[in-house]
Amino acid sequence: MGDYVLIPKPGSKINLKDYDPDYHGNEDKSSAQKEIQVLQDEMQEFQERLYAEGKQSLLIVLQAMDTGGKDGAIKKVFEGINPQGVHVAAFKAPTPEELAHDFLWRVHQHIPQKGHIGIFNRSHYEDVLVVRVNNLVPESVWKHRYEHINHFERLIADSGTRILKFYLHISKDEQKKRLQARLDTPEKNWKFSSGDLPVRQQWNDYMKAYESVLERCNTEYAPWYIIPANAKWYRDLVITRAIVAALKDMRPAYPPPEPDLDKIVIPD
Ligand code: ATP
Ligand code: MG
């Protein structure tokens, strides 16, 4: 596959079959783990600056099929990051109150405030994924949501939030292995949900729905990354690299100190 394009060109046609979930370039696990540690130190430094500066924020959106590794990636990538200033929001099936509003209402309040990093475990994209695949609203309603999402993300980006969206791409075989491991390993039993099985049967419909998302909502201001995610270490490496690169590019700076600090004497 040669050069693996993590961010497809905005507007390009996506066939997820062209993206190998097993891809891991020329990298190997042990050097990846070392690199992740180095990058995490950088991430921590940038996060402190971002927090101190208080002028911009970072939003990370994670989407995947069940067992795709959203939880694992959050745990690994943000290891050692100061929890103050980081907020994880998980989006489950909407409550009656949420359903009584527009689909972005519940999402907007979790957009990270200036200085913070926000992580979405699932997101507003469910409203064009699970909702579309299961006809939870008619097509005449969901088909307009791609545009609504683009406008919403534009607003967020214009307001000082850098947006990175990661689709963790696993294969159907890999999902089978991971579901089986949840059945076979007592400590993983709690993660097994028989409700994941009917969703697995809709695999191809979900891939189509993801392709539409990746084609229609991949913008310059809120890019989608297609992360090969069968190898967990590679998934974590690529995500960590992307986040650190974005933080670097944001150039968060410590605010200037009060004047004449060197003349100040702390009284006894
Ligand atoms: P895990 O991977 O640990 O199982 P999860 O993210 O799958 O975590 P669950 O509580 O199992 O968490 O699932 C959340 C469910 O909520 C998913 O099936 C998802 O499709 C559903 N959901 C999320 N947003 C919406 C939405 N807007 N409309 C309908 N269903 C939604
Ligand atoms: Mg689940």
Residues 6+ apart with CB under 8 A from 78: 43, 86, 119
Q: What is the per-residue pLDDT for 80?
A: 83
Q: What is the per-residue pLDDT for 5?
A: 65
Distance 182 CA to ligand 2 centre (A): 12
Distance 89 CA to ligand 1 centre (A): 12
Measured from the CA of 90, which atom of ligand 1 is nearest?
A: 6
Q: In this structure, which ligand is nearest to the CA of 90?
A: 1
pLDDT of 1 higher than 50: no
CB neighbour burial string for 154-182, b if at least 16 within 10 angstroms, e if fewer: eebbeeebbbbbbbbbbbeebbeebbeeb
Pairwise CA distance, residues 99 & 103, whole Å: 7
Q: What is the per-residue pLDDT for 169?
A: 97
Report percent pLDDT > 70 for the chain.
Answer: 98
Please state the φ and ψ torsions of residue 239, each to the nearest 5 degrees. -65, -45
Measured from the CA of 134, which atom of ligand 1 is nearest?
A: 29
Atom 7 of ligand 1: nearest residue by CA position: 66
Pairwise CA distance, residues 228 & 210, whole Å: 14
Beta strands 117-121; 86-90: pairing state: parallel
Q: What is the per-residue pLDDT for 4?
A: 61
Rounded mean pLDDT of 18-28? 94
160-181 tens-digit pLDDT = 999 999 999 999 999 999 999 9
CB distance 243 to 164 below 8 Å: yes
Measured from CB, residues less than 6 Å from any atom of ligand 1 are: 66, 71, 91-94, 121-122, 126-127, 130-131, 136, 191, 193
Please state the φ and ψ torsions of residue 203, each to the nearest 5 degrees. -45, -50
Helices 145-158 and 203-216, axial angle in degrees (round to 10): 50
197-220 tens-digit pLDDT = 999 999 999 999 999 999 999 999
pLDDT of 91 higher than 80: yes
5-21 tens-digit pLDDT = 688 888 889 999 999 99
Task: Give 2's pLDDT tier (boundaries 50, 70, 90).
Answer: very low
Atom 25 of ligand 1: nearest residue by CA position: 93
Rounded mean pLDDT of 2-6? 57
Distance 69 CA to ligand 1 centre (A): 13
Distance 49 CA to ligand 2 centre (A): 35
- Catalogue all structural domains in the chain, each as residue range(s) with its CATH number: 29-251 (3.40.50.300)
98-143 tens-digit pLDDT = 999 999 999 999 999 999 999 999 999 999 999 999 999 999 999 9
Q: What is the per-residue pLDDT for 11?
A: 85
Q: Which residue has the higher pLDDT, 11 or 195?
A: 195
Distance 252 CA to ligand 2 centre (A): 36
CB distance 101 to 150 below 8 Å: no
Measured from the CA of 121, which atom of ligand 1 is nearest?
A: 6
Atom 30 of ligand 1: nearest residue by CA position: 93
Rounded mean pLDDT of 221-245? 97
43-67 tens-digit pLDDT = 999 999 999 999 999 999 999 999 9
